[in-house]
Amino acid sequence: MQKGFSVPLLLAGVLIVALLFGWYLLNSLNKGQQSNNFSLSPVDSVEKKNNLYTNSSLGFEFQYPDDKGWTVLEDSEEGFNKRGNGDFRKNFTGYVGYEPGKLLGATVVLNNENNFDTSPLTVWVFDNPDNLSVDGWFDRYWYYPFLWGVFDPVSKGHVVMDQEATVSGQIAKYKIISYQIGSPKYVYLSNNGKIYLFRIIGEIGDQILQSFKLLE
């Protein structure tokens, strides 16, 4: 009787050990999953390392990184003329025979070097009372003030917009000018009686443009 009784006890002991081991293993896996989920938090903190710039008068906002010394400044034709040592509106009018579009305002993102020529994002906003398409605007003004004055169709063809992009949920058109400093991407967007001309340089410029949102 004692020998027969010891077998069920042995089986019960084995079962208890197996259950305890299973509980321990399951608990360890759950803790491991919690640890993996927690490890994602640094990514969230990186995503939050952005400053938000809003320009209510020109109707847009965008995010730019705050970990590399970037700043945002408002620009103007006067400032552009001073840096270029000339009067570009006057030069355009004298050369083409009519004035460029009316500038409503401009914004530029700069790093510690404050180099406007290599700014990752510059946006000039023009009044568009005739509601010209981006192609119609380009036909009249090229990429004023950055690039203009190519008249014949053959020569002008090498700077015509040939690609599309989505900016703030709308279709924009652009051209990469590889022979200028930084191989800038000139992007045109039309919205609500305004023309937005972007000059984008490098990966940071693309990232800032992706965050660009129209407010109207």
- Exposed e or buried b for every residue in 39-55, given b needs 16+ CB within 10 A? eeeeeeeeeeebeebeb
Shared-domain flag, residues 29 and 55: no
Structure token pair of residue 184 = 């800038």
Shared-domain flag, residues 10 and 79: no
Shared-domain flag, residues 17 and 65: no
Mean pLDDT by 10 residues, the chain (216 residues): 48 55 51 35 41 95 87 94 93 94 96 90 97 95 90 73 96 95 97 97 96 94
Instruction: Give the pLDDT confidence score for residue 45 in this predicted structure.
Output: 30
State whether the Cα torsion 153-156-161-163 is positive or negative: positive
Q: What is the CATH number of the domain that holds 185?
A: 3.40.1000
Shared-domain flag, residues 75 and 107: yes
Shared-domain flag, residues 81 and 7: no
Instruction: Give the pLDDT confidence score for residue 48 in this predicted structure.
Output: 43
Instruction: Give the pLDDT confidence score for residue 82 in this predicted structure.
Output: 94
Domain count along the chain = 2
Instruction: Give the pLDDT confidence score for residue 111 in this predicted structure.
Output: 87
Instruction: Give the pLDDT confidence score for residue 154 in this predicted structure.
Output: 61
Structure token pair of residue 22 = 């299973």
Q: Which domain holds residue 192?
A: 48-214
Shared-domain flag, residues 136 and 177: yes
Instruction: Give the pLDDT confidence score for residue 137 in this predicted structure.
Output: 97
Instruction: Please enumerate in sequence order all residues whose Cβ is within 8 A of that of 5, keeping only pairs 6 or more positions apart, or say none.
Output: none
Shared-domain flag, residues 183 and 206: yes
Instruction: Give the pLDDT confidence score for residue 15 in this predicted structure.
Output: 54
Shared-domain flag, residues 102 and 184: yes
Shared-domain flag, residues 31 and 71: no
Instruction: Please enumerate in sequence order all residues whose Cβ is within 8 A of that of 63, keeping only pairs 6 or more positions apart, or say none.
Output: 50, 51, 52, 53, 208, 211
Shared-domain flag, residues 30 and 55: no
**Residue 151, SS3?**
coil
Shared-domain flag, residues 33 and 69: no
Shared-domain flag, residues 188 and 86: yes
The model carries a pTM of 0.75
